[in-house]
Structure 1
Amino acid sequence: MMIKRTIVSAVFAFAAGIVSAADFPKGDSASARVFMELHSIQRLSGVLTPLLTVPGGAFRIVEGDLLALGNLRIRLVGIEAPEVAQLCNSAQGDSWECAAEAEDRIRDVLRTAERIECFSNDRDSYGHYLASCKADGLDVGGLLVAEGLVWPDQEQGYYQPEAAQAQAASRGIWQAETPSPSDWRRQQD
């Protein structure tokens, strides 16, 4: 019985990939495509289930990439938000509170959403769930990268098209040379 379920799940997963890839308009980001394919697979095969589905406003924002719901901690996968004490450089040569702005933006997105879904199958070394979250169908990590409020995680390789567009438009963190959060932490030691 378990083998049958695995085979059926694999067939549904393959079909979901074909169907959902055909539904995307040209120019859609690869990260959104992957996320939507995972969501389609979850719906068709029942293999992946959301870590949680909650109404908007349910989360508390710990940092620009870390959410809390009670004792549950979720780190948004694929992004690096500015550290709480980190300032970002502006085009005018001064600095701005990029960490606070990233936190405010994610708070607004999650607060105004009717439904938030987070998908996870892994945890980090601190026990936080590593998850992709959607607010009313909008990929939260991709939005923050596209608006220039967070960096894409270079090791994971997500959100590169969104980062390139934000950088080309000199949005947010890309308006002047600013160290990434990992580089900033090294400079503080």
Structure 2
Amino acid sequence: MGRVLKYGRKRPFVLDIALAMAVGVVIGAAVHVSLPANFMVWLSRIDLSVGRSSLAGTETITGPAVVIDGDTLSIHGRRIRLHAIDAPELSQNCTLNGSSYSCGYESKRYLESLIAGRTVTCHSRDTDKYGRALATCFVGEGADLNARMVESGQAIAYLYFSRAYAGQQSDARDARRGIWKGEFTEPYQYRKRMR
């Protein structure tokens, strides 16, 4: 589908086509070759996306989603990690009013309820060390699943990687929603302890 670049990343084939066309236009202008009057209109109508917005460096993944946990989905077998959020692990427990509860499973169930069998569209710009697409995902009328998970308190903003959902986290913490109602170990700290 593309050529392997430095660090094992692939450049989509359609980017090669766009680059070749741009070089052709520049060379044509340099040697004073006149292009047909409607050439630029024709060029602008070519769909270079082919499942990937090559020029923007994003991959779009759309379809029915299977929820793996509170921050991981699978669409058509492709694993997707919700970018810039961190949800409790399935094995993780949190404390509310002195009692332990499975906040990892609660987070997963909440994400399943947000999707509710509807088509999910994810826009990925990168992959993590496990090969999962790092993506912002949407459902329904454009509801940002990443933001909804953080604003509901079912995940935290992964501030180490991005401040994209810092505002939603502040709102959830102040309103004591989800895991903010009680006590919890930040998911990345929990994973560190489990190693």
Deviation at 1:103, TM superposition (A): 0.7
Given that 1:77 and 1:132 are in contact with CA atoms closer than 8 Å, whether structure 2 keeps it comes out as: yes
Higher helix share: 1
Residue 182 of structure 2: which of 170, 176, 181 is its match? 176
Residues 1-189 of structure 1 mapped to structure 2, 5 A cutoff: 1-2=21-22, 47-48=55-56, 50-54=59-63, 58-90=64-96, 92-113=97-118, 115-136=119-140, 137-155=142-160, 156-189=162-195
Deviation at 1:149, TM superposition (A): 0.4
For 1:167 and 1:122, locate their aligned partners in 2 and report how far apart those are by CA, in whole Å. 29
Given that 2:71 and 2:82 are in contact with CA atoms closer than 8 Å, whether structure 1 keeps it comes out as: yes
Q: Which has the larger radius of gyration?
A: 2
Higher RCO (C-alpha 8 Å, min separation 6): 1
User: Residues 16-67 of structure 1, C-alpha deviation per residue, up to 9 Å, x if partnerless?
Assistant: xxxxxxxxxxxxxxxxxxxxxxxxxx9xx9844652222xxx1111111111
Identity percentage over the alignment?
A: 30
Given that 2:62 and 2:75 are in contact with CA atoms closer than 8 Å, whether structure 1 keeps it comes out as: no
Deviation at 1:93, TM superposition (A): 1.5
Deviates more, 1:133-142 or 1:101-110: 101-110
Aligned length: 146
| Structure 1, gaps ≥5 residues long | 6-41
For 1:66 and 1:109, locate their aligned partners in 2 and report how far apart those are by CA, in whole Å. 13
Higher strand share: 2
User: Residues 106-141 of structure 1, C-alpha deviation per residue, up to 9 Å, x if partnerless?
Assistant: 11222243x421101210011111010011200001
| Structure 2, gaps ≥5 residues long | 1-20, 26-48
When the two structures are superposed, what TM-score results if normalisation uses the length of structure 1? 0.69
When the two structures are superposed, what TM-score results if normalisation uses the length of structure 2? 0.67
Given that 1:61 and 1:103 are in contact with CA atoms closer than 8 Å, whether structure 2 keeps it comes out as: yes
Given that 1:146 and 1:163 are in contact with CA atoms closer than 8 Å, whether structure 2 keeps it comes out as: yes
SS at match of 1:68: strand
| Structure 1 letter corresponding to 2:22 | M
| Structure 1 letter corresponding to 2:132 | H
| CA root-mean-square deviation | 2.3
